[in-house]
Structure 1
């Protein structure tokens, strides 16, 4: 009897309807687990100057536009603009519910395949997007460090003697990966096939100036807008650190914690940002307040509507 009852329930509840309930439920679970952080963040928001906070919220909204531009620039086919923008908003919520960007990648991969892009080319476009995003963030950080060399005291960010082994480990990573793949012919063949597809997609995209501009312009605009949001929140709470130094601190912190497999960087990003702001010259207590308020605006406030948008897109079969 129990087995027959469960089968009847499964027939009455289609899988797509069940999936629509998953994002809001996950948001509720994450919010309950981090309720103390949320309470502190909202407390700091109440003490801040609202015009600057509204400006930070507006800049946060522009990050989804930048992400949509980059996604469009990574694929030759023209994607529907409104659905693409809605998918980026939903992907932001999914990104904070699954580790290491898996949520956003899954949403966008599904979106492109529904739009008619073959799976192999959708995967190649996704890889191109991730590469452009990483290059854009690191390039922007390098440019700001050259322009403002005293923005960060690296000695305050890294223990003494730690930078050398860190660079050595980064340089050795490709060799280790090659050593792991060498004994696996099937894996090598699959990787070679994917690389051929990805290189072909990259050539096709860069053969169109509009696509290349959207790809690299969005890849630079996205981290710049995120850094600007942090600078505006710092201004709202009167953090005594120049805006350019806040931008350097933000980019350095996010680059440093990028490999950490935490959903949306929750926990790791906050810790790295506090350390970076202190290294930029901010007081510890006020830097913590700025980080909590910034994460409330950029993560927690968009999370419930983003989850509802994700559920709606699943229900409408957009993804």
Structure 2
């Protein structure tokens, strides 16, 4: 090759390669659109309930509905407070609140709070929390909430002894034996699984040690104890306040204490059923319990339907948009 050909080869830049979107970018785009698609499919499947609840809310008292909207917004603040209380590190308050608002949308699509836990786990990982410690905080969150709810239920039963005339709501000995047997069976199967499957033993024990260490550290800090346990105790009170104010807007003839106690009893009885956001079994039990307290069945049903529209359907689209925005900005 001549010197001129060599110089030309050195000066001519190679052709620019066409860059294709990376796999992670495609996955992120899919995750951005997925919440909206899931919500659209769910709205099409549950359109009659949404339409009926919206019609009832349109005829309700606006003052009580405004109070219900306030308690609905307060529920996201309380959720963020509990999440912060389950971790020693300080999380950014604005992003934490936004993540819990988005987690609410995901929680109503997947059962057993899996959607909310998945969103929160991703948020904590993005904040630099190791996966093991983030998972331990979710476990602590899931443990504290039912314990605090049970304590609140006991306080209500002691504070309002006149509400104890529950009749057929009180489970008989056979039902209690079945529940105890199911719990013991679950514990035995878990122990057997950990004993038989050795690869599971090490990560489970590591997670348990991490959770115990973090729990011990958290309970030496009064601010974290107040956020964790105070928020967990406030959760059923705030949720019950939403139901009560929605019921008052429709003319429900029950007191605030009766509505909150009905929620505590129904969610404790069937709250372990893995339905999305507790929808279905808890709703039926809540209607049955309010009817046992003296509310007309039709009005109790209307209250629960309107409550679900206000707390699920109204914030669902904004929550999905926030979820997509957080994914797009790599907060999740």
TM-score by length of 1: 0.92
1:132 equivalent in alignment to 2:150: no
Partners of 1:45 and 1:152 in 2: CA distance: 31
Structure 1 portions without partners, runs of 5+? 1-7
- Does 1:82 find its partner at 2:97? no
Extract unaligned runs of 5+ from structure 2: 1-19
Distance 1:124 1:33 in 2: 35
Q: How does 1:182-221 map to 2 (within 5 A)?
A: 182-221=195-234
Residue-by-residue CA offset, 1:285-316 (whole Å, 9 max, x unaligned): 11001111111111111111001100000000
Q: Is the Cα contact below 8 Å between 2:291 and 2:300 reproduced in 1?
A: yes
Q: Matches of residues 6-25 of structure 1 in structure 2 within 5 Å?
A: 14-25=26-37
1:243 Cα deviation from its structure 2 partner: 1.2
Does the 8 Å CA contact 2:156/2:261 hold for their aligned counterparts? yes
Aligned-CA RMSD value? 2.1
State the alpha-carbon separation in 1 of the partners of residues 170 and 40 from structure 2. 36
Alignment coverage as a number of residue pairs: 313
In structure 2, how many angstroms separate the alpha carbons of the residues matched to 1:15 and 1:190?
Answer: 28
2:325 aligned residue (301, 306, 312) = 312
| More divergent stretch after superposition (199-208 vs 8-17) | 8-17
User: Do structure 1's residue 49 and structure 2's residue 70 form an aligned pair?
Assistant: no
Please give the alpha-carbon distance, in whole angstroms, between the structure 1 residues aligned to 2:304 and 2:163: 18
In structure 1, how many angstroms separate the alpha carbons of the residues matched to 2:330 and 2:188? 42
Matched, 1:116 2:109: no
C-alpha contact (below 8 Å) 2:31/2:327 kept by paired residues: yes
Compute the displacement of 1:255 (Å): 2.0
C-alpha distance in 2 between matches for 1:52 and 1:137: 25
Q: 1:10 to 1:186 in 2, by over 3 A?
A: closer
In 1, the alpha carbon distance for the partners of 2:164 and 2:283 equals 17
Larger Rg: 2
Distance 2:137 2:81 in 1: 13
Superposed displacement of residue 210, structure 1: 1.0
Range with greater deviation from structure 2 (159-168 or 284-293): 159-168
Structure 1 residue 103 and structure 2 residue 148: aligned? no
Distance (Å, rounded) in 2 between the aligned partners of 1:189 and 1:123: 15
Q: Distance in 1 between matches of 2:22 and 2:63?
A: 50
Shift of 1:10: 7.8
The aligned counterpart of 1:3 is none
Pair 1:63 & 2:75 matched = yes
1:256 is displaced (CA, Å) by 2.2
Partner of 1:273: 286
Instruction: Measure, in 2, the Cα distance between the counterparts of 1:118 and 1:163.
Output: 42
For residues 254 and 43 of structure 1, do their structure 2 counterparts lie closer, same or farther at Cα, with a shift above 3 Å needed?
Answer: same
Measured against aligned partners, the alpha-carbon deviations of 1:203-246 in whole angstroms (never above 9, x if no partner) come to 11112111111111111112210011111112111111121011
Runs of 4+ in 1 over 6 A off after TM superposition: 8-13
Q: For the structure 1 residues 18 and 253, does the alpha-carbon distance in structure 2 shift closer, same or farther, using more than 3 Å as the test?
A: same
The whole-number CA distance in structure 2 between the counterparts of 1:68 and 1:135 is 18
Aligned to 1:253: 266
CA distance in 2 between counterparts of 1:92 and 1:222 reads 14
More deviation, 213-222/144-153: 144-153
Question: Do the aligned residues in 2 keep the contact of 1:253 with 1:272 (CA within 8 Å)?
Answer: yes
Deviation string 1:81-104 (CA, Å, 9 cap, x unpaired) is 100000000000000011110110
Change (3 A) 1:185 1:233: same
- Flag the 1:318–1:12 CA change in 2: closer, same or farther, 3 A: closer
| Change over 3 Å in CA distance of 1:42–1:268 after alignment to 2 | same
Given that residues 274 and 291 in structure 1 are in contact (C-alpha distance below 8 angstroms), is that contact kept between their aligned partners in structure 2? yes
Report if aligned partners of 1:62, 1:225 keep a CA contact under 8 Å in 2: yes
Q: How far 1:153 sits from its partner (Å)?
A: 5.2
